[in-house]
């Protein structure tokens, strides 16, 4: 059983920055694509970013492209989400997730929540205007 634990959320003013971390249990972290999703009150969960297991290929939602950066440190079993130029509409609970399929490829954009099988409990990000 894989456990994912997010941290780093909080309250920040618009234009500010936060860095989220997600640490995974287990020994195979480096073999899986990892993703970040978010869910705002009254809205469906939406994809934010993903990073591949191999050469660190990344994919972003259009809404965060150029402002957010996903990265990973396989030696620490940790994936990060650096969030800059935050906007009030970025307010949400942020979840990290592990995509199904060890050493999986990306035949299409890895942005569907159905492709992910393990999820963290979430961390709240609130951006004030």
Residue 1 pLDDT class (50, 70, 90 cuts): confident
71-118 residue pLDDT tens: 999 999 999 999 999 999 999 999 999 999 999 889 889 999 999 999
Q: Across all residues in the chain, what is the average pLDDT?
A: 96
pLDDT of residue 32: 96
> For residue 94, how far is the Cα from the chain centroid?
7
pLDDT of residue 108: 87
Please tell me the distance from the alpha carbon of residue 90 to that of residue 92, in angstroms, as a whole number.
6
- Average pLDDT, integer, range 44-59: 93
23-48 residue pLDDT tens: 999 889 999 999 999 999 999 999 99
| 44: its two tokens | 């469906």
Residue 27: burial class (beta carbons within 10 Å; 0-12, 13-18, 19+)? exposed
Is the pLDDT reported for residue 55 higher than 90? no
Please tell me the distance from the alpha carbon of residue 16 to that of residue 85, in angstroms, as a whole number.
5
Residue 56 pLDDT class (50, 70, 90 cuts): confident
Q: Three-state SS for 73? A: strand
Please tell me the distance from the alpha carbon of residue 36 to that of residue 60, in angstroms, as a whole number.
10
Helices (H) and strands (E) in the chain, counts: 0, 11
Positions of E strands within the chain: 4-7, 10-13, 18-24, 34-39, 46-51, 58-60, 68-73, 78-83, 92-99, 116-119, 123-128
């Amino acid at each position: 059983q894989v456990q994912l634990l997010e941290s780093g959320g909080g309250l920040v003013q618009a234009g500010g920055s936060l860095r989220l971390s997600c640490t995974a249990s287990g020994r195979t972290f480096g073999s899986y694509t990892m993703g970040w999703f978010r869910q705002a009150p009254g809205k469906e969960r939406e994809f934010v970013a993903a990073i591949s297991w191999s050469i660190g290929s990344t994919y972003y939602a259009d809404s965060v492209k150029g402002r957010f950066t996903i990265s990973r440190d396989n030696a620490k079993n940790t994936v990060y989400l650096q969030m800059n130029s935050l906007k009030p509409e970025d307010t949400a609970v942020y979840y990290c997730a592990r995509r199904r399929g060890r050493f999986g490829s990306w035949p299409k954009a890895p942005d569907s929540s159905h492709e992910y099988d393990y999820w963290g409990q979430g961390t709240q990000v609130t951006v004030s205007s």
